[in-house]
Structure 1
Amino acid sequence: MNQHAPNMRPIIRQLDEMTANRIAAGEVVERPASAVKELVENALDAGATRIDISIEDGGKRLIRVADDGCGMTPDDLPLAMSRHATSKIDGSDLLAINSFGFRGEALPSLGAVGRLTITSRAQVADGAEITVAGGKIGPVRPAASNRGTVVDLRDLFFATPARLKFMRTERAETQAVADTVRRLAMAEPWVGFTLTADGREIFRADAEQGELFGALQARLSRVMGRDFIDNTIAIDAERDGLTLTGFAALPTYSRGAAVAQHLYVNGRPVRDKLLTGALRAGYMDVLTSGRHPAAVLYLTCDPQLVDVNVHPAKAEVRFRDPTAARGLVVSALRHGLANAGHRASSAVGDATLAAFQAEPPPPLPGRSYQMDYRPSPGAIRSSFVAQAPSADPLPDLAAGFAEAPSARFEDITPGPTHAPLGAARAQVHENYIIAQTDDGMVIIDQHAAHERLVYERLKAQADEKRIASQALLIPEIVELSEADAARILSIADELSELGLVIEPFGAGAVAVQEAPAMLTRLNASALIRDILDDLADQGQSDRLRARIDAVLSSMACHGSVRSGRRMSAEEMNALLRDMERTPRSGQCNHGRPTWVKLKLSDIERLFGRKD
């Protein structure tokens, strides 16, 4: 028996406008941060150059958004409070969307669950205001106002008190609002933003000047921090009508969670699985498991190539050609990381400096002043006499002492200290190379560095000769559903290039005829099913490539210079020059840095030689 079937035939009713708005509000407005997002996006669509946001009690008591945009006339205000009334589109083409909003649901939804007041003035009209409380629209009244719009939303969810039970603490809601404003500010560097919480300014980003990359750099430095910009590479690529710009962090600047990943499509912040998967694939063989890349990427294209009307909060998008979008992100990131060469995060050097802690001097009894320990005039005269040149040989101060053991570094001829990684000067603990540069010193992990060099060489050889495959004595039959069999066979050519040859074997089954020669003890059935899971989730799969790279990485590890081996001066300098020429040599195969640089000025500061 169907438990959902009623005993009596249900009656179909037309829901009233107020109920419909409350239902819509449940999809559009999940929490105060959602309301802030909708109102700020409206301000951006109105052409605002300055947006001021104020909240109280995490946005539950008050949300106020003021902008200097085009404003609205008194006749516009009632329409703005009606569902599906919008100035963004005319309804003729739902793919030709060049604005943030287009459904006409945000303001009516906010008015249905809170007390909403809009005060606005257009350039050629008088100011006016309208109030909506719990879905009941009041009359339009004259109001004094500058050009632009001020939206006051008070007592959010007072009309749906059950929703208040799902609100988090004031601090958590305030943080969510701040994160929302920061994400929007990162996409609009030429717009100024301020966010005030309970009378205290918690975020401010003045409008930036200059061309795109310069303005974005300045805005991201303000929002993400200067360290982020100092440790990123610029991304600028184009393919098939898609353009990708932004900044991607070096692998050694990775994070423990995906909290520093910001993706935008036509200026709209999105959380899209396709793009997130592409970002992860771009860093596939330079990050260890459990680490996440940091990046701010902007994908722009003709609105006809992407559908933003697939999610009520417009957080997800659908591309007409998802393969092209994913391919652009992956190739641009890999190309950018390869061009970064031997660069490593400056944060590694900062952490190294922080590890050097000068031992504080022992406290002296009583009060001490600099003058208390000045030598007497007699002591000064004696000191000068002792320092005066003399024809007599100096006494053997070491006489009577046994020869002290010392670290004896190999005599190394001067090298190119002007090179990025400098010239090798010594090897310590048979694992670390000390190199001198014009402005500091570099410490290199010889095993990790050589491991990356060998790995890149093996990958290049594998790509040139294609991955060698080995025919199976008995083909392995993998039973699948007909849909899964068709899906895996659709990428048979790509798998063949990686050494995995599959063929159809009746309805709902495939036969694995050949496997990559380097993958011993391959469980072909498990691999096929894992690839299918990736295809279902992301539309693409790098799982086979990742397994091959893991084998190459293991081969590189065993074939590289081992820790504990003494290296000659020529070998050390050759290693440094190879690192400078090899892409991605700033980190080993596991994502750890291969070298650390200390600036001379920082070293002098450690020893108190410079303030």
Structure 2
Amino acid sequence: MPKPIRVLPDHLVNQIAAGEVVERPASVLKELIENSLDAGCRRIEIDVEQGGVKRLRVRDDGCGIPRDELPLALSRHATSKLAQLRDLDAVASLGFRGEALPSIASVSRLTLTSRARRAHDPGACEASTSGWEVSVGIDGELQGPRPAPHPEGSSVDVCDLFFNTPARRKFLRTERTELDHIEQVFRRIALARPDVGMSLKHNGRVLQSLPSAENDPAGAAARLDRLLGKGFAEKALTVDEAAVDLRLHGWVMRPAFSRSQADQQFFYVNGRAVRDKLLTHAIRQAFSDVLHHGRHPAYVLFLELPPRLVDVNVHPAKHEVRFRESRQVHDFIFSALHRRLSRGALAAEQGELDQPGVASSLSLPSDEDGGTEPPTRGAGARFSGSLGVGENRRAYQASLSFQQPASGGAAPGAMPPAPPADLEQGAAMGYALAQLNGVYLLAQAPDGLILVDIHAAHERIGYERLKAAWSRGQVVPQPLLVPMTVQVSPREAELIDGHAESLGRLGLRLDRIDTGSLVVREVPAILKEADFDRLVRDLLSDLAEYGRSERLEEAINGVLATMACHGAVRANRRLTLEEMNALLRDMERTERIDQCNHGRPTWIKLTHEELDRMFSRGR
């Protein structure tokens, strides 16, 4: 006999909903803080006991809740953030479903106390002269409202989480682990809202106390250092790019300071912290040419776009979003970060302050730009025409060859000559003083001392020149003596029809022979030794998932990077001051010069202030 269909009681419905949004104390904290931010607060105080299991209280100074609306706040699907269906197409608030508070109340002992903000504040809620309180009893029944002293704003006190669902309580971890998750939520939200002061206490001990940093760049940088480690702001590149209705701003850590884990990656869409494969792929592609394998970028980035262009109602905990124009968003983020990483840390040194710009697909400078071309002095050779592998290598080595000094370099102990006048003015990398240990170049800059890893810097310069030469010349395809068949899924095979032309420009010719088979007829000459079966499969996988792929470019760049490494200046080679200054000038003109092809830093600077501190001067 089938069981009869019944309408579930409200309390059980709320507990089922709690299973979607209340995983642990940290998820409770996320929902409560988001409610406080939606209420327009400027200060949030968080008190936690026993990892949030015993008690978790969030107090804010937001607009508060009028007495008559307090019971509604604990009712399912009751919210002030949506009124009609069309509002769901352009959600501008962090919360909007009206599920969080009743769900939390169904698995804890919850008390809500609030006092509405006085009406003299423009845009404020209804005035109130005293606070009011409601709570949920053990049986799920609402108690109150009753008078309770409280300043303007609201407090939500959550005690004994999962006391009535022991099976779920068993899945909670140790106090330390649950506190770690709480601190992660705190960090994620505090990074997004420097305009809101926030504090966090655990068992009576203050863990974080962050003042508001609204319209205060120095305060925002201090918050970055407090939450992500001292020096984050100093080592980060600021990003601010805009195009059409999209804006990307925030900070990316310089590639030379990448991390072994993806533990400092924070991305926000209209202020909401999200985890999205499309966004992660775009960022990873932007960093692909400046990070060593196995390393991870660190960033705090904010994407702003009209709410109608993003759907936030696709995940119970609102961690994921869906973009109406996903390809446009992907390409915008990729090009914006690619552009900023190309400029590197020297952008500020050369006077290119981090002002908002228009992101576009990056193109390397032409001959007239002088950006990645070899200088006209000495043995510098121009790349021209369609270059094969051998021609690339010969032209590249000629362009990088230093002239051997007739005297064997500067005599030991000799004082370097005074810097030329043109180097004293506007030379971001300064002028050469000496070569140290055959490996490092020492240069004096207007604001300190610069140390350059000669091989690493020369390697990046050569690599960028090779890429520029490759992009200007026609890619040389090489027909396969025996065409190679690759078996793929029918969906992947169909992708070739729309991308055959673009792949052909990169020297890869693929033909579709049936619903699930492709044949490789031509490959880029520089990649003739590559595993094309694997490369084609990975390329099609990218096209299917993200609509684009850079795997061919990455494979070509890998070969060019190896060539650049073998052609770069080796250690213990003596350079003249003229050659060292020429290297510094080349560095100022080279994109992505901050790190070598393997992700290591090419140069560092010790400012006058840092040198003074080392020698206790100025005290």
Verify same fold: TM over 0.5.
yes
- How do residues 171-570 of structure 1 correspond to structure 2 at under 5 angstroms? 171-210=176-215, 216-217=220-221, 219-340=223-344, 342=346, 408=412, 412-415=416-419, 416=423, 419-570=427-578
What secondary structure is seen at the aligned counterpart in 1 of 2:190? helix
Residue number in structure 1 paired with 2:587: 579
The superposition leaves residues 199-230 of structure 1 with CA deviations (integer Å, 9 ceiling, x where unpaired) of 1111111122327x666445434433451111
Indicate the larger mover: 131-140 or 284-293. 131-140
Q: What's the secondary structure of 1:101's corresponding residue?
A: coil
Query: Do 2:162 and 2:169's aligned partners in 1 also have CA atoms closer than 8 Å?
Result: yes
Distance 1:83 1:539, change over 3 A: farther
- Per-residue deviation, 1:479: 1.7
Partners of 2:494 and 2:446 in 1: CA distance: 60
- The aligned amino acid for 1:249 is M
Q: Deviations over 1:524-566 (max 9, x none)?
A: 2211211233345555432222111111101111222222322
CA contact (8 A) 2:492 2:541 kept: no
Q: What number of residue pairs does the alignment pair up? A: 543
CA RMSD of aligned residues (A): 2.4
Change in CA separation of 1:259 and 1:601 when aligned onto 2, cut-off 3 Å: same
How much has 1:589 moved relative to structure 2?
A: 0.5
TM-score, structure 1 as length reference? 0.84
CA deviation string 1:139-163 (max 9, x = no partner) = 3223232221111000011111112
Secondary structure in structure 2 of the residue aligned to 1:518 = helix
Select between 28-37 and 120-129 the one with higher mean Cα deviation.
120-129
Alignment correspondent of 1:379: none
Counterparts of 1:560 and 1:107 in 2: how far apart (Å)? Answer: 62
Which residue does the alignment assign to 2:39? 46
| Partner AA of 2:195 in structure 1 | W
Question: Which structure: larger Rg?
Answer: 1
2:37 counterpart SS class: helix
Moved more, 259-268 or 69-78: 69-78
Q: Residue 105 of structure 1 aligns with which residue?
A: 99
Q: Percent identity?
A: 48
Cα deviation per residue 1:36-71 (whole Å; 9 max; x = unaligned)? 010010011111111111110010011111111111
CA–CA distance in 2 between the matches of 1:26 and 1:599? 54
The whole-number CA distance in structure 1 between the counterparts of 2:134 and 2:614 is 64
After superposition, what is the alpha-carbon deviation per residue over 1:207-255, rounded to whole angstroms, capped at 9, x for unaligned?
A: 22327x6664454344334511111222111224211111112111211
The alignment status of 1:36 with 2:40, answered yes or no, reads no
Deviation at 1:20, TM superposition (A): 1.5
Residue 127 (structure 1) shift: 2.6
* Structure 2 SS opposite 1:140: strand
Deviations 1:421-451 (A, max 9, x none): 2222222333322223345433222111111
Higher mean C-alpha deviation, range 100-109 or range 457-466 = 457-466
Distance 1:72 1:606 in 2: 56
Unaligned runs of 5+ in 2: 118-126, 350-409
- Equivalent runs, 1:89-168 vs 2, <5 Å: 89-93=82-86, 94-123=88-117, 124-125=127-128, 126-134=130-138, 135-168=140-173
Letter in 1 for 2:191: M
Matched, 1:82 2:68: no
Deviates more, 1:184-193 or 1:583-592: 184-193
Q: Hey, what's the Cα distance between the residues in 2 that align with 1:437 and 1:136?
A: 72
Contact 2:495 2:544 in 1 (8 A): no
Give the CA deviation at 1:325: 1.1
Distance 1:529 1:36 in 2: 43
Contact 1:64 1:150 in 2 (8 A): yes
Q: Distance in 2 between matches of 1:156 and 1:540?
A: 46
AA paired with 2:30?
Answer: K
Give the Cα–Cα distance (whole angstroms) in 2 for the partners of residues 161 and 468 of structure 1. 67
Go from structure 1 to structure 2 and tell me whether the alpha carbon gap of 1:608 and 1:71 turns closer, same or farther (over 3 Å shift): closer
CA deviations on 1:552-593 (whole Å, 9 max, x unpaired) are: 101111222222322222211101111112121121011101
The alignment's TM-score, normalised by the length of structure 2, stands at: 0.83
CA distance in 1, matches of 2:413, 2:499: 57
Task: State which drifts further: 311-320 or 506-515.
Answer: 506-515
Which amino acid in the other structure matches residue 177 of structure 1? I
CA distance in 1, matches of 2:297, 2:51: 30
Distance 1:341 1:69 in 2: 40
**Aligned AA (1:522):** A
Distance 1:97 1:463 in 2: 43
Query: Does the CA contact (< 8 Å) of 1:344 and 1:586 recur in 2?
Result: no
Q: Which deviates more, 14-23 or 96-105?
A: 14-23
CA contact (8 A) 2:500 2:510 kept: yes
Range 185-194 or range 106-115, more displaced:
185-194
Q: Which AA in structure 1 matches 2:213? A: E
1:515–1:11 distance in 2 versus 1, CA, 3 Å: farther
Q: Report the alpha carbon displacement of residue 523 of structure 1 after superposing the two structures with TM.
A: 2.4
| Cα deviation, residue 594, structure 1 | 1.2
Provide the secondary structure at the position in 2 that maps to 1:202.
Answer: strand
In structure 2, the residue corresponding to 1:257 is in which secondary structure?
coil
Amino acid at match of 1:36: L
Q: Is the 8 A contact 1:454 1:560 kept in 2?
A: yes
SS in structure 2 at match of 1:430: coil
Which deviates more, 543-552 or 134-143?
134-143
Kept in 2: contact 1:274–1:539 (CA 8 A): no
- Cα 1:337–1:139 shift into 2, 3 Å: same
Q: CA deviation at 1:302?
A: 0.9
2-side partners of 1:440 and 1:49: how far apart? Answer: 41
Structure 2 vs 1, CA of residues 466 and 46 (structure 1 numbering), >3 Å: closer, same or farther?
farther
Contact kept? 1:251, 1:287, Cα under 8 Å: yes
Which is worse superposed, 335-344 or 35-44?
Answer: 335-344
Could you say which residue in structure 2 is the equivalent of 1:397?
none
Contact 1:341 1:580 in 2 (8 A): no
* Alignment correspondent of 2:8: 15
Structure 1 outlier segments of 4+, above 6 Å: none
Q: Which amino acid aligns with 2:336?
A: A
The Cα of 1:344 is off from its aligned counterpart by 11
What is the rounded CA distance, in whole Å, between the counterparts of 2:202 and 2:499 in structure 1? 52
Question: 2:385 maps to what in 1?
Answer: none
- Which sits farther off after the overlay, 522-531 or 195-204? 522-531
Relative to structure 1, the CA distance from residue 305 to residue 609 in structure 2 (aligned partners, 3 Å threshold; closer, same or farther) is closer
Offset, 1:281: 1.3
Residues 153 and 528 of structure 1: is their aligned pair in 2 closer, same or farther, counting only changes over 3 Å?
same
CA distance in 2, matches of 1:81, 1:607: 62
> Offset of 1:28 from its aligned partner?
0.2
Change (3 A) 1:585 1:146: same
SS in 1 for 2:522: strand
Q: Which deviates more, 471-480 or 588-597? A: 471-480
Contact kept? 2:111, 2:133, Cα under 8 Å: yes
Q: CA deviation at 1:458?
A: 1.2
Alignment check: 8 A CA contact 2:25 2:178 kept: yes
Q: Verify the 8 A CA contact 1:111 1:133 in the aligned structure 2.
A: no
The alpha carbon displacement at 1:185 in A equals: 1.6
Provide the rounded CA distance (Å) in 1 between the counterparts of 2:614 and 2:78.
65
Comparing 280-289 with 483-492, which one deviates more in the overlay? 483-492
